[in-house]
């Protein structure tokens, strides 16, 4: 039997020792070889194959580092997205799930030497929402799938409508309570039913004839078909309904007909709405507000101007107060509605990219009326535009 056959004690012992994770200091990432002890690692380092691989890496080290970084990031984000979704989770928990595979790619061969530096990079790139606590770094994956973003926007609009309905109901109840306090209902003055005798019975007398006549409807008497023709001729004919008033004859009012021009306008408006409605709304030159505390209290609810766009979802925002330039994702920004008479930009919807002027603000429905200054509907007033579709323009 050979010395290192599959079923020999030595081979079985080697397989048992190789199970699970080994020490990282005895692992060679260039050769992707794991040694069990210091002596084995020393022998590997002095081997000819390792020296050849070392020369190849030394010619272009950034090529291998970038390749290892891309592979590590793809596997790490794949675990984060599939196991935890968009939930907030400890970064070390995700890393422990990643290194559970003994054939994983080690972090010390990538551009990120520590888990904290990886979390900071994910936050700067907008891939994850990152915050530091006493336990460590927490991360939450930002799902940029168009279907997911559309579903989240629908849920936000539904919650907003439910909140509006609750506020309207509460306001209506307050008005009813105030009205009842001003005009309290009068006392109907009910009296108690008292007996004159202790053992006496209470009796009610009702006219059965009157009850029978009231309960049975009176039908009109019809002439007997056996009677003579003369009697039939003498019976008066019922009067027709020509003498009725017009208000009685026409009980159902006719609905106003929509003209062909209005119908064409509505169809064209729907077509432009479907064409110009997108998930991204960022534009240069608009004033936005930061709605996150990840950057600290100094920037929360502060306004800035979008000076440049890196892509459809990421913008460079220059703060109005401090002049700092921040790289922000649009999920951390919201539109700003100016006062009546100020200029705005339509950032989404049918009139996307057109300039306008605020004519009316409706806080109850979270909408505004805008007079169009250019575009197809120039000179007309577009009503009921949502807050998310309109944003203030910056004037230098």
> For 219-262, how does the pLDDT look when each residue is reduced to its tens digit (9 = 90+)?
444 445 444 444 444 444 444 444 444 444 444 445 556 666 67
Question: Is the confidence at residue 10, as pLDDT, over 50?
Answer: yes
- Distance, in Å, from the CA atom of 308 to the CA atom of 316, rounded to the nearest integer, reads 5
> For 162-214, how does the pLDDT look when each residue is reduced to its tens digit (9 = 90+)?
777 778 788 888 888 888 778 766 665 656 666 665 555 666 566 555 555 55
Structural domain that includes position 88: 21-141
Query: In this structure, are residues 26 and 41 in contact, taking their beta carbons and an 8 Å threshold?
Result: yes
> For 320-342, how does the pLDDT look when each residue is reduced to its tens digit (9 = 90+)?
888 889 988 888 999 999 999 89
pTM of structure: 0.36
CA triplet 183, 186, 187: central angle to 5 degrees?
150
* pLDDT of res. 212: 53
Q: State the CATH number of the domain containing residue 395.
A: 2.30.30.30
Which of 141, 160, 182 is the C-terminal boundary of a domain? 141
* pLDDT of res. 250: 47
Mean pLDDT, residues 365-372 taken together: 90
Which of 106, 141, 176 is the C-terminal boundary of a domain? 141
- Distance, in Å, from the CA atom of 346 to the CA atom of 389, rounded to the nearest integer, reads 6
> For 266-325, how does the pLDDT look when each residue is reduced to its tens digit (9 = 90+)?
787 788 888 888 888 999 999 999 988 888 888 889 999 999 998 888 999 999 888 889
Which of 105, 124, 141 is the C-terminal boundary of a domain? 141
CA 38 to chain centre: 55
Q: 3-state secondary structure string, 309-360?
A: ECCCCEEEEEECCCCCEEEEEHHHEEECCCCCCCEEEECCCCCCCCEEEEEE
Question: Is the confidence at residue 126, as pLDDT, over 60?
Answer: yes
Residue 354 counted as domain residue:
yes
Q: State the CATH number of the domain containing residue 61.
A: 1.10.10.2030
Q: Which of these, 60, 61, 65, 31, lies nearest to 45 by C-alpha position? A: 31
Residue 318 counted as domain residue:
no
């Amino acid at each position: 039997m050979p010395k290192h056959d599959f079923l020999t004690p030595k081979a079985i012992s080697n397989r048992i020792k190789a199970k699970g994770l080994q020490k990282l200091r005895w692992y060679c990432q260039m050769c992707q070889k794991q040694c069990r002890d210091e002596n084995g690692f020393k022998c590997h380092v002095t081997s000819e194959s390792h020296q050849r691989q070392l020369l190849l890496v030394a010619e272009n080290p950034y090529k291998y580092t970038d390749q290892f970084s891309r592979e590590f990031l793809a596997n790490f984000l794949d675990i984060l997205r599939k196991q935890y979704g968009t939930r907030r989770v400890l970064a070390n928990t995700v890393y422990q799930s990643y290194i559970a595979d003994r054939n994983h790619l080690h972090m010390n061969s990538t551009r990120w030497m520590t888990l904290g530096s990886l979390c900071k990079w994910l936050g700067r790139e907008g891939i994850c929402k990152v915050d530091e606590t006493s336990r460590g770094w927490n991360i939450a994956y930002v799902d940029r799938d168009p279907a997911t973003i559309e579903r989240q926007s629908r849920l936000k609009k539904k919650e907003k409508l439910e909140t509006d309905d609750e506020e309207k109901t509460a306001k209506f109840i307050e008005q009813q309570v105030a009205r009842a306090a001003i005009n309290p209902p009068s006392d109907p003055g009910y009296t108690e039913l008292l007996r004159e005798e202790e053992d006496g019975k209470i009796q009610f007398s009702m006219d059965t004839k009157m009850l029978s006549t009231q309960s049975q409807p009176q039908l009109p008497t019809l002439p007997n078909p056996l009677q003579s023709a003369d009697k039939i001729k003498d019976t008066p004919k019922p009067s027709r309904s020509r003498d009725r008033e017009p208000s009685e004859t026409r009980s159902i009012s006719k609905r106003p007909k929509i003209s062909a021009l209005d119908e064409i306008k509505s169809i064209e408006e729907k077509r432009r709405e479907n064409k110009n409605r997108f998930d991204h709304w960022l534009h240069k030159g608009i004033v936005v507000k930061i709605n996150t505390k990840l950057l600290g209290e100094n920037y929360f609810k502060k306004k800035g101007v979008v000076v440049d766009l890196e892509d459809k979802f990421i913008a460079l925002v220059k703060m109005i107060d401090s002049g700092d330039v921040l790289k922000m994702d649009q999920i951390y920004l919201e539109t700003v509605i100016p006062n009546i008479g100020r200029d705005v930009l339509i950032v989404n919807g049918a009139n996307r990219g057109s300039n306008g002027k605020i004519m009316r603000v409706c806080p109850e429905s979270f909408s505004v009326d805008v007079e169009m200054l250019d575009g197809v509907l120039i000179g007309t007033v577009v009503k009921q535009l949502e807050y998310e579709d309109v944003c203030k323009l910056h004037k230098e």
